[in-house]
Amino acid sequence: MKIKTGIGIDIHRLEPGLDFWLGGIKLEHEKGCVAHSDGDVLIHAICDALLGAAGLDDIGVYFPDTDPAYKGIDSKILLKKVIDMIEDKGFAIGNIDCVVCLQRPKIKMRTLEMRECLSEIMGIDVDEITIKATTTEKLGFEGREEGVSAYVTVLIIKL
C-alpha cells in the first residue's frame, strides 16, 4: 500500500456585500470573499492538498481565474472534479485535516455541517474530515477582518 500526503493553503480578501461560502455552506456574515469563483477558501485548500498529494498541478492550472467558465462557480463542483482526477490516478482519501483562520464569524457551531457537506461530495466518512477554527487574536489580516485563510493536509492511499 502506498500512501501520500499533501498540503493546501488558500487566502481570500473579505469585502462587504458578498456571500461568504466556507466548507460548501453559506454563512451569514456582512462580508464575503473576493474571488473569481464563489471564494470558498476551505474547499480551494482541500483541492490543492489533494492535487499535490496525487502529483498533479495546483487548482489554478485546472480551473484558471482567467476562464469565464469558472466565473462564480460553486466550489463544490470543482472539488468533485478534483476527486474524479485523483480517483483516475488510483487514489482514495485516507483523511483530511483543516484549519481555518478568521476573526469572525465564529464557525465552531457550523463545522459538523461543513464536514457533512464535504463528506457527501468526496464520498468519504464524515469522521475522516476535521475542521478546526482559530482567530489570530486580532493580529494580521485575519485579525483585522480583511481576509480569511485555510490550511489543509490530506492523506491519500493508492488502491
Q: Which residues contribute to the annotated binding site for a divalent metal cation?
A: 10, 12, 44
Q: C-alpha cell of 128? A: 475522516
- DSSP per-residue letters across 18-52: S-EEETTEEEP-SEEE--SS---HHHHHHHHHHHH
DSSP code at position 70: G
CB atoms within 10 A of CB 154: 29
Phi, psi for 102 (deg, rounded to 5): -165, 145
Residues making up the binding site: 10-12, 36-37, 44, 58-60, 63-67, 134-137, 141, 144
Dist CA 67 CA 65 (whole Å):
5
Angle at 125 between CA 52 and CA 73, to 5 degrees: 55
DSSP output for 100-151: EE-SSS--GGGHHHHHHHHHHHHTS-GGGEEEEEE--TT-HHHHTTSEEEEE
